[in-house]
Chain A
Amino acid sequence: MTLAELQFQMPDLRLASAEIFVLFMACLVLILDLFVRDGKRTVTFLATQLTLIGAAVVTLATASNDVGFTFSNMYIADLLGDVLKLLLYLTVIIVLLYSRGYVLEREQMAKGEYYVLALFATLGMMVMISANHFLSVYIGIELLSLSLYAMVAMNRDSIPATEAAMKYFVLGALASGLLLYGISMIYGAVGTLEMNAVAERLMTMGYQGERTILVFGLVFVVSGIAFKLGVVPFHMWIPDVYHGAPTAVTLFIATAPKLAAFAMVIRMLANGLLMLAQDWQTMLILLSVLSMAVGNIAAIAQTNLKRMLAYSAISHMGFMLLGIVTGVVGGDARFGLNAYSSSMFYVITYVLTSAGTFGVILLLARGGMESDDLNDFKGLNKRSPWFAAVMMMMMFSMAGIPFFVGFFAKFSVLQAVVAAGYLWLAITAVAFSLIGCFYYLRVVKIMYFDTPVSTAPIEAPIDMKILLSANGLAVALLGIFPGRLMSVCHYTLARSLWL
């Protein structure tokens, strides 16, 4: 058999050039690291950051308003993918910069593999973001998760970290199994796994025929997604992993994968399985309400800040889902665009705020010690008024206090919920957010009104201080001018969705 006999279309590699670039560079960094003698791995660190900047340049250069497909329609290049990928690079750059000092102080983490695994995780998220095929989604998830398991476990001598990695690995494998099982059911019912084709088949098939098997598969797919998002009742891994993992890795897990998970939800549910919206919306409403309840109430009882933020992440993901469940009302997708773009805005601003919050925790963690207990924040204002103010802005934003970006995020999601006619859902969400205010404001109280335990001034490299300040200002400024980002989300989704 010759090559000419193989009938297939050569993939258009140009569309996927960002992924190819990151893969190439990740392998290059892996080899480069062998020649680095410096224990600080400065060259590896810089090469990783340059790779991410280079990837941003490549993505910008190939970005277009049109939707393109390649690799036998397994890969989709559209504006949604480009925007989310740019945000992803930015997040990973911030994350690696914040965690630099923390990693250097831990001998077992200060290795080149840490950066290489971060790059591979980024590649996995890029694959998830640009997936137009259930198989690509799955492969992307595995690439991301496998890198994350290893990163969590990297601080080998720490027992909590090893335990967290083990839990994450076992539960993650279980969730992947659920997702695959669901996907196989959908394949059995529809006969294809390509998302556009699935949507088309469902459109022509209507609701008759394989409905039972479709809904059966859908339940498993939604469970798999819920696990990756970390919403109740698939949230058990979140507190343990956030708490047990080294803070630098927690920062990574708490930020960038949320963007990819959002893309996954949009691609799989709002695109491929839109015809089944009524079914998955009902499931997601249940998950969303439960997450807001469990997340906000359990967070009150926590004394460890990382654990508290883990429960807060659960409640935020529940809130984000509210935008997803209100896209289609009675078979009418008129409000879809508004609802989904409010969710996108929510997830972007959450990632920004979450990065800043963990950034402050990393700022305080010095000399190989963690400072993730609430007591470590006592009297932060006396030690560093500016970073106490940054932390306060983050907490206000997460609580949804007006004129910080979190308020507008919550506001736009609630608007979508009310427009879709779910008044009770909006009221429930507001009630649980009010409960949530308690623990965010408690952090502010501890920082400003309690007497400090230690009075050591805060020392950090200048680049981290600048970036953390910029992060804080971004949360404040986006709260005053949310319009631009909101219209970016709206425009992006309008260009990328079939509604």
Chain B
Amino acid sequence: MEFRTFVFFFLSGVLLLAALRVITARNPVHAALYLVLAFFSASGIWMLLQAEFLAMALILVYVGAVMVLFLFVVMMLDINLDRLREGFWSYLPLGSIIALLMVAEMALVLGGRQLGLLESSVRQATTEDSNVQAVGRLLFTDYVYPFELASVILLVGIVAAVALTQREKRKNKAVSPGQQVFVKWKDRVRVLSMPAEKRDN
């Protein structure tokens, strides 16, 4: 078996197992961690296909942003902090296994130059540039219209998030000593001059 094939099957096997555990794990935090592993393995497979842009995007966007947010949400939903901290160290074995697997995958892909991964039989992209360059060039030329509109969608996302979450400032009842010092009696007391009234009877 060629080394390349071995890497592919290794990554695919981990991917499938991790994906299976995402839906079978009872603990949502475990499920989220397995999802991170699944993303990681998928990006390794993309790396094998020399789609390095997709691979990096997957890591940066999904692992870096989406999954971290996801973990935050999962942890915030459980408000009982003590209970959350209680099990913290019990995540360690699982967490370290997943971390080790990731390190192994990364070593396989990044050390590819030494292990002879680069002489591949996969069809090369037609350009000589990396595909980050190719994607960038297309985004800013042929696909500039949807690209710009996608930025408008992000803007709408920001506007919507602000509009939906921003509340008016609470009425502040704290006193300002500076202004208090300058208070004059006229500000607080109103003197009324009332005409004297006659007795009714």
Q: Mark B142-174, 1 if CB is under 8 A from A, else 0.
A: 111110011011011101101110000000000
Q: Which listed residue, A71, A114, A156, touches B144 by the CB 8 Å rule?
A: A71
Residue of B nearest to A149 (CB): B160
CB of A8 closer than 8 Å to a CB of B? yes
Which residues in B have their C-beta under 8 angstroms from that of A75? 145
* B162 pairs with A120, CB closer than 8 A: no
**B141 an interface residue at 8 Å Cβ cutoff?**
yes
Name the one of B144, B146, B156 contacting A146, with C-beta atoms under 8 angstroms: B156
Measured CB to CB, the nearest residue on chain B to A30 is B159
Judge whether A136 is part of the interface by a CB distance below 8 angstroms. Answer: yes
- Cβ–Cβ contact B150 & A139, under 8 A: yes
Docked-complex contact B141 and A6, CB < 8 angstroms: yes
Q: Are B160 and A147 in contact (CB under 8 A)?
A: yes
B129, closest chain A residue (CB): A1
In the complex formed, the residue of B with least CB distance to A136 is B146
Q: Check A135–B156 contact: CB distance below 8 A.
A: no
Q: Are B142's CB and A8's CB within 8 A?
A: yes
A124-157 contact mask (Cβ, 8 Å, vs B): 1 or 0 = 0001000001011001101100110110011010
User: Are B163's CB and A139's CB within 8 A?
Assistant: no
**With A6-B141, A8-B141, A154-B164 as contacts: A120 and B159 at CB distance below 8 Å:** yes
Within 8 A of B (CB), among A57-88: 71-72, 74-75
| B residues in contact with A111, CB < 8 Å | 163
Whether A450 sits at the interface, judged by CB under 8 Å, is no
Q: Which of A8, A133, A149 has the most CB of B within 10 A?
A: A8
**Which residues from chain A contact B153 at a C-beta distance below 8 Å?**
139, 142-143, 146
CB of A117 within 8 A of CB of B145, answer no
A139 adjacent to B149 (CB under 8 Å)? yes
A338 to B163, CA, bound (A): 45
Among B140, B142, B152, point to the contact of A123 (Cβ < 8 A): B152
Name, among A6, A27, A71, the residue most crowded by chain B CB atoms within 10 Å (CB to CB). Answer: A71
Given A6-B137, A6-B141, A136-B145, answer yes or no on A154-B156 (Cβ-Cβ < 8 Å): no
Contact A150–B145 (Cβ < 8 Å): no
Q: What is the size, in residues, of chain B's interface with A at 8 Å between Cβ atoms?
A: 20
The distance from the CB of A74 to the nearest CB of chain B, in whole angstroms, is 5
Selected from B144, B146, B156, the residue in CB contact (under 8 A) with A150 is: B156
A235 to chain B, nearest CB (A): 25
Q: Is A113 an interface residue (CB 8 A)?
A: yes
Closest to A165 in B: B164
B163 near A143: Cβ-Cβ < 8 Å: no
A150 and B153 CA atoms in complex are apart in Å by 12
A120 touches B137 (CB 8 A): no
- A117/B159 in contact, CB under 8 A: yes
Residue A23, interface by CB 8 Å:
yes
By a CB distance below 8 angstroms, the chain A residues around B137 are: 6
Partner of B146, one of A135, A149, A153: A135
A116 to B159, CA, bound (A): 9
CA gap between A6 and B140 in the complex, in Å: 10
Q: Which residue of B lies closest to A74 (CB)?
A: B145
Indicate whether A233 reaches chain B with its CB closer than 8 angstroms: no
B121-142 near A? 1/0 per residue, CB < 8 Å: 0000000000000000100111
Q: Report A99-121 CB contacts with B as 1/0, cut-off 8 Å.
A: 00000000000010110110010
Q: Is there contact, CB below 8 Å, between A74 and B157?
A: no
Cβ-based interface call for A11 (8 A): yes
Q: B152, A120: Cβ atoms under 8 Å?
A: yes
Q: How far is the CB of A268 from chain B (nearest CB, A)?
A: 16
Most A C-beta atoms less than 10 A away, residue of B140, B150, B164: B164
Report the bound CA distance from A147 to B142 in whole Å. Answer: 26
Nearest chain-B residue to A27 (Cβ)?
Answer: B155
Contacts of B157 in A (CB 8 A): 146
Cα(A74)–Cα(B147), bound, Å = 12
Question: Which residue from B140, B141, B150, B159 sits with its C-beta under 8 Å from A113?
Answer: B159
Q: If the complex has contacts A127-B149, A139-B150, are A72 and B156 also in contact, measured as CB distance less than 8 A?
A: no
Contact flags A187-203 to B (C-beta < 8 A → 1, else 0):
00000000000000000
Contacts of A136 in B (CB 8 A): 145-146, 149
The listed residue (A6, A71, A150) touching B160 by CB distance below 8 A is A150
Residue with the greatest number of chain A CB neighbours at <10 A, chosen from B137, B143, B152 = B152
- Chain A hits for B149, CB < 8 A: 127, 136, 139-140, 143
**A11 neighbours in B (Cβ, 8 Å):** 144-145
Name the distance in Å between B138's Cβ and chain A's nearest Cβ: 9
Bound together, the chains give a CA A114 to CA B146 distance in angstroms of 24
Contacts of B163 in A (CB 8 A): 111, 113-114, 117, 150, 154
Question: Once the chains are docked, how many angstroms separate the CA of A6 from the CA of B134?
Answer: 11
- Nearest B residue to A143 via CB reads B153
**Contact call B146/A23, Cβ cutoff below 8 A:** no
**Please, how many angstroms separate the alpha-carbon atoms of A27 and B150 in the complex?**
15
A143 to B162, CA, bound (A): 17
Q: Which residues 53-92 of B have a CB within 8 angstroms of A?
A: none
**Alpha-carbon separation in the docked complex, A135 to B160 (Å):** 23
- Within the assembled complex, what's the spacing in Å between the Cα atoms of A6 and B142? 10
Residue contact A72 to B159, C-beta cutoff 8 Å: no
CA of A133 to CA of B142 in the docked complex: distance in angstroms?
12
Given contacts A143-B152, A150-B156, is CB(A72)–CB(B164) below 8 Å?
no
Cα of A9 to Cα of B116 in the assembled complex, Å: 41
Contact A156 B159 (CB under 8 A): no
Contact of A74 among B146, B155, B164 (CB under 8 A): B146
Contacts of B150 in A (CB 8 A): 139
Residues of B within 8 A of A142 (CB): 153
A172 → B minimal CB distance (Å): 13
Which of B155, B157, B159, B162 has the most CB atoms of chain A within a 10 A radius of its CB?
B159
B: which residues have CB within 8 A of A? Answer: 137, 140-146, 149-150, 152-153, 155-157, 159-160, 162-164
20 CB contacts below 8 A, A to B, read: A8-B142, A11-B144, A16-B145, A72-B141, A72-B142, A72-B143, A72-B145, A74-B143, A74-B146, A113-B162, A114-B163, A123-B152, A135-B143, A135-B146, A136-B145, A136-B146, A139-B153, A146-B157, A146-B160, A156-B164
Known: A72-B141, A120-B156, A156-B164. 11 other contacts (CB 8 A): A6-B137, A6-B141, A30-B159, A72-B142, A117-B159, A139-B146, A143-B149, A146-B157, A147-B160, A149-B160, A150-B164
User: Sorted from nearest, which 9 A-B pairs have the closest CB atoms?
Assistant: A150-B160, A113-B163, A71-B145, A8-B141, A72-B142, A139-B149, A74-B145, A139-B146, A120-B156
